Every structure is written in structure tokens, then in C-alpha cells.
Amino acid sequence: MKAITIEGATKNFGPVQVLKGIDLAIEPGEFVVLIGPSGCGKSTLLRMIAGLDDLTSGSISIDGRRVNDLAPKDRDIAMVFQSYALYPHMTVRGNMSFSLKLKRTASQAIGRAVANAANLLGIETLIDRKPRELSGGQRQRVAMGRAIVRKPKAFLFDEPLSNLDARLREQMRFEIRKLHRDLGATSVYVTHDQIEAMTMADRIVAMNGGIIQQVGSPLELYDEPANLFVAGFIGSPAMNVLSASCIRTGAGTELRLGASTLAMVERGLDGVSVTLGIRPERVRLATADSGIAAELVLVEPTGLGTVAHLNLGGQLLKLFTTERPRISAGETIYIRVEPDDIRLFDPETGVRI
């Protein structure tokens, strides 16, 4: 049985359709990350799972039970809001025990559950403070604590780390994953940060414009993007996108970028213009005799490696290498790409060929 099943879910706000038919099945214990640009409907989908927004059409089931008409309180899910939404007039303890009190849990059991959760999150010493006496990172932990004391069927996270600084974000990323490993609860995590998605997800759901673009493991999305949107959204520096054409020659059909032949492609593509995608780290430095000449526009050292921005026959191309080549802007350098590393897309629809 699936933990959460979403079938044909749509959502209209007035005349605007923000979700245009979402189908998604989430396995028990899975950590699913919803990713997409701002305004694509991630929060709306999450709120519909939580029961905070109604569906316009379609259905949502939790543990095999249709929950369309079930109030949030009866869905047994926990949610961590982007703004944390801590109850300002209650202490950390009050915040964390609120849900258990509503369920009329015995007070010893509440005490134990709160102590456990506080311990797990390292906030034991803050337990009697009010939210206004906490830092952003501490509030974030309390919000997490409020969710985990309940042992719910599923956790929903709406960009829980977006208000934290980079350092803390990295640490919390790790801790949320660890928590998930320890608790094993089904989790749906919304973010627009592709690094969070790559590092945390069992499966990534990439969304754009209210439509799911691709569902798969992080590496699937990285290596085999289903369309140009996913190709451009996942990975940093982003995948190179260039226009190329397929030309029939005596040897077969060649994929040409300007005057250079990059690879041989199937016969069917004769005479077609395509969009070519290649990851910056798959563009390699070569020697003058075997490579394609490109003009070096800009060199960015990142510490981990070097990003070189190249001008290749009027199109921009990025190259990433962890070696530290001695190159500088204005030079002409030579590059090569492996045919296996090339992804082709339809320039009109953006769909992978």
C-alpha cells in the first residue's frame, strides 16, 4: 500500500489554475523532495496533502484512505512551515506538547515524548523559553520538534531551511536526513534549492507551472533529464544548452555544433535542428590536434575547481574541472566531449529526444 497517493489533483484559485493534474504515489518511509521554481505550486500541493487547501478536482489518499473531505486534524500528518509558525505565547515545551495534549495523552507520556524529541534535536536547555527568545536556527528545531513528538503518518516540510544561513542549512540538511533514517517516516519535502533536493531525496519530483516534469532518483534527474526544464534546474553550474544541427554526410548523420562534428547520431534526425545539453564537468580540456577551439571569456575559481566560460562559435559554454589549469581570459583553448555525455532535446518542446 502506498503511503500517499495523489491522483489527477488540480487546484484553481479563481480563474487561475495553479496545479494542472498531479499524479504521484509515495512509498511508505520514502523521502520525497518536491522541487521547482517559485510559484510553481509546490506549497499548494503540500497544503492540499495537509488538508489546508481543498482540491478543485482529483483525489488524495493517505494509507489507502481517501482524505479529500477529511479535516487536517484527522489526517494524522505533521507539517513544518517555512515561517515555523510557532505558538508565540507558549514555551518550547508548550509548543511541542500542544498536539499531544489535544489527543489527551497522559502527562507522563507527554513529558517523555517532549524530552526525547528535545534530546534528539539538542534543544533540552531551551525547553522553557518562549519562541521570541530563540534564534532562527533554534526556532527551526522547535518546529521540527513539534512535528516529531507526534509520530505522525507523514511529515510535510515546506522549505524549512530557507530562512537559515548557508552553514546552518548544511547542518540541518544532515540532521533532517538522520532523523528520517531514525524515524523512518514518510516525508514530503518542498524546496527550490536543488542542492537540498539532490542531497536529501530518495526521489525528486521536479515541478514547473503546476505540472510534474519528472520523477526519479536524484542521479536519474541529473544524468537523464526528461526535458530542458529539469536539465537546467538540477545541477550547478547548470547544464550547457546549445543549438546544434544534424547533418547527413557519407559517414552517416553527424551532430554539428557550428563547423565541428561532435558525434554521430541516428539516421532519423537527418536535417533536424536540435538543442544539445551537456554538463559542464563533462566538457574536457583537450590538445590542439584533437579538440575544438573555443575562446576563453571568463575564468571563475570556486576552490573546489574552476569554471571556465567559453565562447564557442558565438554560443556560450561552461566547462568545469577540478584540476587547476593555468588558463586566463582571452586565450583560445581546446575542448572535447564524449558522445555518451551528450543529451539531445527538441528545441520546440524541450522534450528529450
Partner 1 sequence: MQGPDTRRRLLWIAHYLAVGAYVVVALFPLFWLLKVSVTPNSLLYSEGVRLWPSTMTFAHYVSVIRHTDFPLFFVNSTIVSATTAVLTTLIAAGAGYAFSRFTFRGKFWLVGLMLVTQMFPLVMVIAPIFRLFAPLGLTNSLTGLIVIYTAYNIPFAAFLMQSFFDGIPRELEEAAMIDGATRFGAVRQIVLPLTLPGIAATLGFTFTAAWSELLFALMLNSRQEATTFPVGLLTFVSKFSVDFGEMMAAGVLALIPVCVFFLLIQRHLVTGLTAGAVKG
Ligand X SMILES: Nc1ncnc2c1ncn2[C@@H]1O[C@H](COP(=O)(O)OP(=O)(O)OP(=O)(O)O)[C@@H](O)[C@H]1O
Which residue among 4, 18, 33, 198 contacts ligand X (CB under 6 A)?
Answer: 18
Which residue among 71, 251, 259, 304 contacts partner 1 (CB under 8 A)?
Answer: 71
Which residue among 5, 43, 97, 227 contacts Mg ion (CB under 5 A)?
Answer: 43
Stretch that binds partner 1, among 94-102, 188-196, 202-210, 294-302 (CB under 8 A): 94-102
Q: Which of residues 134-193 bind Mg ion (CB under 5 A)?
A: none
> From ligand X, Mg ion, partner 1, none, which one binds at residue 88 (CB under 5 to 8 Å depending on kind)?
partner 1
On whether the CB atoms of residues 148 and 181 are closer than 8 A, the answer is no
Stretch that binds partner 1, among 134-142, 178-186, 217-225, 273-281 (CB under 8 A): 134-142
Nearer to ligand X, 18 or 262 (CB): 18
Smallest distance, Mg ion to C-beta of residue 247, A: 45
Q: How would you write the chain as a 3-class SS string?
A: CCCEEEEEEEEEECCEEEEEEEEEEECCCCEEEEECCCCCCHHHHHHHHHCCCCCCEEEEEECCEECCCCCHHHCCEEEECCCCCCCCCCCHHHHHHHHHHHCCCCHHHHHHHHHHHHHHHCCHHHCCCCHHHCCHHHHHHHHHHHHHCCCCCEEEEECCCCCCCHHHHHHHHHHHHHHHHHHCCEEEEEECCHHHHHHHCCEEEEEECCEEEEEECHHHHHHCCCEHHHHHHCCCCCCEEEEEEEEEECCEEEEEECCEEEEEECHHHCCCEEEEEECHHHCEEECCCCCEEEEEEEEEECCCCEEEEEEECCEEEEEEECCCCCCCCCCEEEEECCHHHCEEECCCCCEEC
By CB under 6 A, residue 38 contacts ligand X: yes
Which residue among 128, 133, 224, 270 contacts partner 1 (CB under 8 A)?
Answer: 133
Smallest distance, partner 1 to C-beta of residue 164, A: 9
Which residue among 26, 40, 67, 84 contacts partner 1 (CB under 8 A)?
Answer: 84
By CB under 8 A, residue 122 contacts partner 1: no
Which residue among 88, 250, 271, 303 contacts partner 1 (CB under 8 A)?
Answer: 88
By CB under 5 A, residue 208 contacts Mg ion: no
Stretch that binds partner 1, among 78-86, 261-269, 296-304, 330-338 (CB under 8 A): 78-86
Residues at the interface with partner 1 (CB under 8 A)? 50-52, 71-73, 75, 77-79, 81-89, 98-99, 102-103, 130-134, 136, 139, 146, 150, 163
Residues at the interface with ligand X (CB under 6 A)? 13, 18, 36, 38-44, 192
